[in-house]
Amino acid sequence: MAEQPSNLPTAYDPKRAEDKWYDYWIEGGFFEAGKDPEKKPFSVVIPPPNVTGYLHIGHALDNILQDILVRWKRMEGYDALWLPGMDHAGIATQAKVEARLREEGVSRHDLGREKFLEQVWDWKEHYAQIIRNQWRKLGLSLDYSRERFTMDEGLSQAVREVFVRLYQKGLIYRGKYIINWDPATQTALSDIEVIHKEVQGHLYHMNYPLKDGSGSIRVATTRPETMLGDTGVAVHPEDDRYRDLVGKTVILPVVNREIPIVADEHVDAEFGSGAVKITPAHDPNDFEIGLRHDLPQILVMDETGTMNENAGPYQGLDRFQCREKIVDDLQEAGVLTEIEAHTHSVGHSERSGAVVEPYLSTQWFVRMKPLAEKAIQDIRSGEGVQFVPERFEKIYLHWIENIRDWCISRQLWWGHRIPAWYCTDCSETIVAREDPDHCPKCGGEHLHQDEDVLDTWFSSGLWPFSTMGWPEETEDLKRYYPTDVLVTGYDIIYFWVARMIFSGLEFTGTKPFRDVLIHGLVRDAEGRKMSKSLGNGVDPMEVIEKYGADAIRFMLSTGVTPGNDVRFRWERVEAARNFANKIWNASRFALMHLEGVKAEDLSLNGPLSTADRWILHRLNETVERVTAGLNRYDFGDAGQSLYHFIWDELCDWYIEFAKLPLYGDDEAAKDSTRSVLAYVLDQSLRLLHPFMPFITEEIRQHLPVEGDSITVASWPQSQSRFEAPEAVGEMEILIETIRAVRNTRAEMDLMPKQQVDLLIRAGEEAVPAFRNNEAAIRRLCGVDRLEVDPSLRRPERAMALVVTGAEIFLPLEGVIDIEQTIAKLEGERKKLDKEVERVEKKLANEGFVNKAPAHVVEEERQKGREYREKREKVVNRLKELRGE
């Protein structure tokens, strides 16, 4: 590398590293799968973002988690494939393009279908490029050679194949039913595209007069404008109040239509008056009742929500204007006698926000029961998709068990055109893989294709296999399908996850992924959902610009608890940035001492110090913990244990200990310290790489180690030769001692430069810890004279400290305050008294001693011994200080 370590800036600069290394990775083809057929495959498909616009921070979280898994598996030696792609997002994208056209005063109808679609494709290309650039900024290790789009040729082929197969199996049908109609975007919606909100509305009570003049029947509704489409009144067959009225006729006010009173089990006799008006064309329940009683279906609105010719005097009014007017009129006419405040659930379009109108319309549907059955069986078999966290399985199951037929046709232009043709000559419907040119029934050539397109999720549901080439038996499909894990938010379990599962089972005969990892939403600092209207969204690119990609990656990935929402807080990004900087500087330190050193100069076979053996032991444990964390998708635990290891152990202790040999004269010690430092740093960088890819590559490129890129460096393994429990024991004593001395120095207001003497009376077991590390103690405690002697005589007028296995004296003639020393020891004694009491009480409890596991009891006894020993020393010191 051109830069000398000593010239490296003292702060990590993400901007200098990120683009450079991403280019290097892409040019080097490190993310392209399939290069080594010997390796085991590991595959993930990205949840395709909509080409509607920019990625938000939720995408960032989702993608970062996947990237961590994929990078980790790649380092573990798998042939890792992460397949990128995007979704055409029918309604959303079309709405955006239409909105832009509207600004120019043009409607899609002005342009015509073909011209309009050209515009949408332009839009798609524009945003696809933006999204790719955002992926790049996030550092995602995607295989761009396999990028897919839901409206690609191949994926469209898959859509058509699926449609035809389902149609031929009788699982797709076309019919006239009540669907959810969005008057704003003027298309049908599926059930889950409707969001139910509690709305403060009214319940309107009306009296419909009986034809025979014998009175009236009282009905209630929340949507009085629909009364214009009433074709019946229904009561419960067991309801005595109305028994005599069943079969009679009422005159519908305003339109003066004669409509029957029918008896139907479905009516809830407890609600309102127990009689309900029936509007078969504008309500799903009424539709069913209407069918049972053969009632006419009268639509009173058009596609825009405007009252139509069937609305008589109200024709031309918007549905809500009509409601107001009709309420006034009916009140005046004495028909509407009571208005009651009433909260009820009103469906809104997920996309446009408009109040959804239940609407009678001819649409295409998927018969869900048989498909759902397979999915339910699969999960019940125990061999099905594994949800992580497990609780989401229940949510999924509940939905799939109660699923209704899926309305898949959309009155849009942007999407997969429904592969159905109608013969104008004989009105035959033709569903085919290839566009037909004549009617197979009558031979006529007057065919026209269905105008509608398919629900976006129809194609997204095929994503894991359509992207791999299905229905062709491609090499990729054989090698990478089914995928290993799908990572997505809980908000699209129904929309997407469920549909991929039943589609995978139906068309490929296997579940599309082994695990599905569900994460939460990224909320703002106050816990509110990020939204455009609140303006509280955080742009991930802004975060990267300010703090670097590694910072946002580390913050988001380690801040999450599986399945729970995470709040975005700038302080935490800053903390992650500081961590990156910490690593940068630790590396700078290491590089300063490795200048001119080559990989082959390094060896861990030299004499290793206590600290060397301790850090290698701790590295072992960290490797195991990080790997275990990733294995169970616990990014938080994996990341935090790494953070702790690097910052608190490697930086705060090991490097401080390492400075002695590194700045000393003992060349052998220097060599082995350099080797350990380089090794531990390299291993730490590897463990950190999935979380912070850029800085780890940047640093490792400076280190004297083998290999092209850290992206393909092997994943660390714990090694039994590094196990050194005795070094851990020694370090614990040293750390406790150093802390105790520093603590005392702080309390006595000693300047850092002021040296003290330290006399240590160590028990036999603790002697090696001190003897082997005298220089370190001197350095880290600011010690001038140091004596370690098991038979040391207590000096006069000295501060006394008690640590595990030793007593420490600081003769501070002229500085020591005897009262302060006594107070300190008294505090210590009180604490130890409490501990001893707690332990003894526990051990005196027969239940504990008899029932607790032996090792727990033994640990407790051991603690008791240590506390008593320590307390005895403290008490003796106090006695001496008081001259007793």
The single residue among 168, 510, 564, 717 that binds RNA, judged by CB under 7 A, is: 564
Residue 325 as a binder of RNA (CB under 7 A): the answer is no
Q: Which helix (H) or strand (E) holds 154?
A: helix 153-168
532 annotated to a ligand binding site: yes
Closest of 557, 580, 476 to residue 63, by C-alpha: 557
Among the residue ranges 54-62, 240-248, 505-513, 571-579, the one whose residues contact RNA (CB under 7 A): 571-579
CA distance linking residue 60 with residue 139, whole number of Å? 10
Distance CA 663, CA 333 (A): 101
At which residue do the structure tokens 């291993």 appear?
683
Question: Would you call the peptide bond into 284 cis, given omega within 30 degrees of 0 as the criterion?
Answer: no
Least Å distance between CB 869 and RNA? 13
389 upstream amide cis, omega within 30 of 0: yes
Q: Nearest Cα to 311, choosing from 349, 279, 263, 266?
A: 279
Residues 121/413, Cβ–Cβ less than 8 Å: no
Segment contacting RNA by CB under 7 A, of 71-79, 179-187, 362-370, 841-849: 841-849
Q: Which of residues 645-684 bind RNA (CB under 7 A)?
A: 647, 651-652, 655-656, 659
519 forms beta bridges with: 489
Token representation of residue 364 = 């295409």
430: its two tokens? 């033709």
Nearer to RNA, 314 or 387 (CB): 387
Site for RNA in 343-382 (CB under 7 A): 345
When asked if residue 742 is in the footprint of RNA (CB under 7 A), the reply is yes
Residues 123-152 binding RNA (CB under 7 A) are: none
Is residue 32 classed exposed, middle or buried when 0-12, 13-18 and 19+ CB atoms within 10 A define those classes?
middle
Using CB under 7 A, pick the residue from 102, 169, 380, 394 that binds RNA: 394
Segment interacting with RNA (CB under 7 A) among 148-156, 187-195, 507-515, 613-621: 187-195
Select the residue interacting with RNA from 148, 572, 613, 686 (CB under 7 A).
Answer: 572
The answer to whether 162 and 462 are in contact (CB under 8 A) is yes
| Residue nearer to RNA on the CB measure, 183 or 629 | 629
Among positions 271, 316, 856, 865, the unique one binding RNA when judged by CB under 7 A? 856
Q: Quick one: CA dihedral 175, 302, 455, 407, positive or negative?
A: negative
Binding mask 786-825 for RNA (x = CB under 7 A): ----------------------------------------
Of 191 and 515, CB closest to RNA: 191
Nearest to RNA of 119, 585 (CB atom): 585
Rg (CA), the chain: 37
Q: Does 411 bind RNA (CB under 7 A)?
A: no
Contact assessment for residue 460 and residue 190, using Cβ atoms and an 8 Å cutoff: no
Q: Please identify, among the stretches 138-146, 255-263, 409-417, 563-571, the one whose residues bind RNA according to the rule CB under 7 A.
A: 563-571
Q: Is there binding between residue 838 and RNA (CB under 7 A)? A: yes
Q: How far is the CB of 576 from RNA (least distance, A)?
A: 9
* Number of residues lying near RNA (CB under 7 A): 71
Segment contacting RNA by CB under 7 A, of 7-15, 50-58, 531-539, 760-768? 7-15
Which among 9-17, 601-609, 613-621, 768-776 is the span making contact with RNA, rule CB under 7 A? 9-17
Say whether residue 402 binds RNA (CB under 7 A): yes
Region from 56-64, 192-200, 365-373, 426-434 binding RNA, contact rule CB under 7 A: 192-200
CA angle, 576 then 574 then 73, to 5°: 25
Q: How far is the CB of 586 from RNA (least distance, A)?
A: 4
Q: Is residue 863 close enough to count as binding RNA by CB under 7 A? A: yes
Q: Is 121 in the site for RNA (CB under 7 A)?
A: no
Residue from 578, 701, 718, 772 that binds RNA (CB under 7 A)?
578
> What DSSP character marks residue 753?
T
Residue found under tokens 């590694």: 550
CA 25 – CA 710 distance, rounded (Å): 10
Q: How far apart are CA 79 and CA 106, in angstroms?
A: 50
Determine the Cα–Cα distance for residues 425 and 632; give it in Å rounded to an integer: 61
**Is-cis flag, bond preceding 370, omega within 30?**
no
| Backbone phi and psi for residue 318, each to the nearest 5 degrees, phi listed first | -65, 150
Distance separating alpha carbons of residues 690 and 67, to the nearest angstrom: 7
Part in contact with RNA (CB under 7 A); list of ranges 106-114, 221-229, 630-638, 806-814: 630-638
Query: How would you classify the pairing of strands 513-519 and 483-489?
Result: parallel
Least Å distance, CB 846 to RNA, is: 7
Of residues 100, 169, 196, 771, which one binds RNA by CB under 7 A? 196
Instruction: Based on the shown chain and the rule CB under 7 A, indicate whether residue 747 belongs to the binding site for RNA.
Output: yes
The answer to whether 575 contacts RNA (rule: CB under 7 A) is yes
Binder among 291, 534, 599, 746 for RNA (CB under 7 A): 746
Nearer to RNA, 535 or 883 (CB): 535
DSSP H/E element including 810: strand 806-811
Among 191, 515, 624, 726, binds RNA (CB under 7 A): 191
Please, which residue, 191 or 621, has the CB nearer to RNA? 191
Is residue 270 close enough to count as binding RNA by CB under 7 A? Answer: no
Q: Which two tokens stand for residue 122?
A: 């332009």
Please give the angle made by the CA atoms of 153, 166 and 93, to the nearest 5 degrees.
Answer: 45
Comparing CA positions, the residue from 630, 489, 635, 457 lying closest to residue 42 is 630
Q: Does 879 bind RNA (CB under 7 A)?
A: no
- Residue 851, interface with RNA (CB under 7 A)? yes
Residue list for the binding site: 532
User: Which amino acids are annotated as binding site for ATP, given as ranges?
Assistant: 532
